[in-house]
Chain A
């Protein structure tokens, strides 16, 4: 499959009163056509900022895109003016956000908000846009779509709002859909509905998806490749099967150990990760995970390990081999 998005050495920082926050520190990844890429990490690890930077949605100031490239069809998204990127955003790369209540405008009808991108990007007439919107609403499984068109967001439940957001995102048949924790605020039964819907739409439209989440469970059933992030760095990058069967970064290993499974009875203790997620003010001297890592060696405190391949399609950023506990 040809590569559709190629992000190279992206660096994003924020100016704050306490100092410079190093949110994303030189991450690189690619996305192929029709592929689903999972981005996993805890809150504050830079997973959202890394895609918002690509979309030109980081306000500058206080944000600073300190370096890197994001090649989309061989043109750098980071170098585009606001006007240029506005034609790509929404039409070719669409986004679904975490909280459907704050990302919909409460004083405009659902229909108005979905027709807007259709009229703006696809140059449809009001009537065409209305018909298309009703079709989209029924595609995402909203009952009585012609009535829902004139409803306001508060008349929708959380799951229906997220469906409306998805309808809006796919309205212009985007090539890339970026989903930023779209199911975190929803119940498991509604989450299953949304994941099912996105999978169906992915197969129908053939779009590529970047799915950001902190839930390793959702990614397992959805993505083909997974990126694990910590403190603004990619610490492990591999195919989905490898990450779960053969996790090689201590952080990934601990995250999986911290998750109980609904399909297995285990009486052993969960492996908790001691300490707290790091403060991102200033760059760490060594590996950012070193203070919480149970495999830590002297070298980890001195030098930050680069992301290196250990097997075909499997990269980790760690000095230690977690299988032996010694240096790699």
Chain B
């Protein structure tokens, strides 16, 4: 949780859409349908805040994060970073945005090139953006390693010489190298052991306070999201179904999906567990190729009515800053 949150929005996402085409045919390929991974997502992130994006696997949260940084080309929508639509930028202007917006990936084993030394991995953003080369680069890399709690003597080592938690620290150092304002953390801790998760989360919080960073924290672990975030958005099948300040969302969830999701998280307290009533969702998440008509959650919703089959619920602000897309929420 950050200390300083301004009212000014740093990133504004407007109706973001990302469809992955499904093609058929060998030579003359035609598109037969599409995986609607992200299907109209809008929110904004204020300078200095940590925004959480949660949902089950396959709900499109990682795709949304990657499309926001233009790692995928969007199918539609706009992303304003400091007021500029990044999808219209080219060349040097885009490079400047890339410097200010970075990403930390989930799998610390797959996201570091095994043939590169730490110096090359963490130093790459430095020479790409012309910030430092040669000796100055190595010195800056050593500074960054110190910042994330690694021994600066490790600059010439390779990723396989590090444990999972240490690798994730290298990933954090690389993201910090270009002095970004905004970092998307895509499940940065889900591959780590419990005791190491706390180390990395504490590191991310310390860095935010020292460097005034803005985070988008993508995760499926709702308890960790409650710990680290200021506001939380819940995604289901390519759409955001609820968005609110974290204490509001966790104490008064309005969308039945959020309620079910929260009730499914186990609590490390046997007495509290015995008293809880679980909402058990039946079945699995439907395919994003053919999402259900009307409200996408209606196939698993315990309270769905006829209207949910036909009309898509509007995105409405029910109390100050608490947005929800459900016909029955009040």
Contacts known (A42-B193, A258-B194, A262-B226); A276 close to B268, Cβ less than 8 A: no
On A, residues with C-beta under 8 Å from B are 42-43, 143, 157, 159-160, 187-193, 195-196, 214-218, 220-221, 240-241, 244-245, 254-263, 265-267, 269-274, 276-277
Q: Which of B29-37, B73-81, B101-109, B199-207 contacts A (4 or more CB under 8 A)?
A: B199-207
B residues 249-301 touching A (CB-CB < 8 Å): 250, 260-274, 276, 278, 280-284
Does A261 lie within 8 Å of B198, measured CB to CB? Answer: no
CA distance A257 to B165 in the complex (A): 18
B residues 213-239 touching A (CB-CB < 8 Å): 220, 222-224, 226-227
CB < 8 Å neighbour of B284 from A188, A190, A254: A190
Residue B56 at the chain A interface, CB threshold 8 Å: yes
Contacts known (A188-B56, A269-B202); A259 close to B223, Cβ less than 8 A: yes
CB < 8 Å neighbour of A265 from B247, B263, B264: B247
Residue B42 at the chain A interface, CB threshold 8 Å: no
Residue B195 at the chain A interface, CB threshold 8 Å: yes
Contacts known (A244-B270, A265-B247, A266-B227); A157 close to B284, Cβ less than 8 A: yes
Residue B113 at the chain A interface, CB threshold 8 Å: no
Instruction: Name the residue of chain B whose CB is nearest to the CB of A42.
Output: B193
B197 partner residues in chain A, CB cutoff 8 A:
258
Does B220 lie within 8 Å of A265, measured CB to CB? Answer: no
A188 partner residues in chain B, CB cutoff 8 A:
56, 220, 222, 261, 264-265
CA distance A273 to B202 in the complex (A): 11
B198 partner residues in chain A, CB cutoff 8 A:
257-258, 270-273
Contacts known (A214-B194, A270-B227, A271-B198); A241 close to B271, Cβ less than 8 A: yes
Chain B's interface: helix, strand, loop or mixed, by majority?
helix
B270 partner residues in chain A, CB cutoff 8 A:
220-221, 240-241, 244
B residues 112-148 touching A (CB-CB < 8 Å): none
B205 partner residues in chain A, CB cutoff 8 A:
269
Q: Give the total of B residues in contact with A, Cβ under 8 Å.
A: 47
Query: Which of A196, A257, A265 has the largest number of chain B CB atoms within 10 A?
Result: A265
Assuming A43-B193, A271-B198, what are 16 further A-B pairs, CB within 8 angstroms? A159-B284, A187-B56, A188-B220, A188-B264, A189-B264, A195-B266, A214-B193, A214-B194, A216-B194, A221-B273, A240-B270, A241-B271, A254-B195, A261-B226, A265-B246, A272-B199
Query: Which of B193, B197, B226, B283 has the largest number of chain A CB atoms within 10 A?
Result: B193
CA distance A109 to B281 in the complex (A): 27
CA distance A144 to B250 in the complex (A): 36
B residues 15-46 touching A (CB-CB < 8 Å): none
Does A220 lie within 8 Å of B264, measured CB to CB? Answer: no
Does B195 lie within 8 Å of A218, measured CB to CB? Answer: no
CA distance A127 to B288 in the complex (A): 38
Shortest A9–chain B CB gap in Å is 27
A269 partner residues in chain B, CB cutoff 8 A:
202, 205
Instruction: Name the residue of chain A whose CB is nearest to the CB of B265.
Output: A262
CA distance A274 to B198 in the complex (A): 10
CA distance A258 to B270 in the complex (A): 17
CA distance A265 to B251 in the complex (A): 9
Instruction: Name the residue of chain A whose CB is nearest to the CB of B264.
Output: A192
A263 partner residues in chain B, CB cutoff 8 A:
250, 267, 272
B223 partner residues in chain A, CB cutoff 8 A:
217, 259-262
CB < 8 Å neighbour of A221 from B56, B274, B281: B274
- Can you list 19 A-B contacts (CB < 8 A)? A42-B194, A187-B57, A192-B264, A216-B268, A217-B223, A217-B268, A244-B268, A244-B269, A262-B265, A262-B267, A267-B1, A270-B201, A270-B202, A270-B227, A271-B198, A272-B198, A272-B202, A273-B195, A276-B166
Does A193 lie within 8 Å of B267, measured CB to CB? Answer: no
Does A272 lie within 8 Å of B195, measured CB to CB? Answer: yes
CA distance A254 to B202 in the complex (A): 14
CA distance A182 to B281 in the complex (A): 18
Contacts known (A43-B193, A260-B227, A262-B223); A215 close to B266, Cβ less than 8 A: yes
Give the 5 A-B CB pairs with smallest separation, nearest first: A217-B266, A221-B273, A260-B227, A272-B198, A273-B195
Instruction: Name the residue of chain B whose CB is nearest to the CB of A266.
Output: B227
A260 partner residues in chain B, CB cutoff 8 A:
223-224, 226-227
Residue B111 at the chain A interface, CB threshold 8 Å: no
Shortest A14–chain B CB gap in Å is 20
B283 partner residues in chain A, CB cutoff 8 A:
143
Type the 1/0 row for B287-320, where 1 means its CB is closer than 8 Å to any CB of A: 0000000000000000000000000000000000
A187 partner residues in chain B, CB cutoff 8 A:
56-57, 220
Shortest B200–chain A CB gap in Å is 8
Residue B163 at the chain A interface, CB threshold 8 Å: yes
A195 partner residues in chain B, CB cutoff 8 A:
266
CA distance A260 to B163 in the complex (A): 23
B163 partner residues in chain A, CB cutoff 8 A:
276
Shortest A236–chain B CB gap in Å is 14
Instruction: Name the residue of chain A whose CB is nearest to the CB of B257.
Output: A189
Shortest A164–chain B CB gap in Å is 14
Instruction: Name the residue of chain A whose CB is nearest to the CB of B284.
Output: A157
A256 partner residues in chain B, CB cutoff 8 A:
268
CA distance A160 to B282 in the complex (A): 11
CB < 8 Å neighbour of A262 from B199, B250, B271: B250
B165 partner residues in chain A, CB cutoff 8 A:
276
Shortest B187–chain A CB gap in Å is 13
Does B274 lie within 8 Å of A193, measured CB to CB? Answer: no
Contacts known (A196-B278, A266-B227); A261 close to B202, Cβ less than 8 A: no
Does B267 lie within 8 Å of A255, measured CB to CB? Answer: no
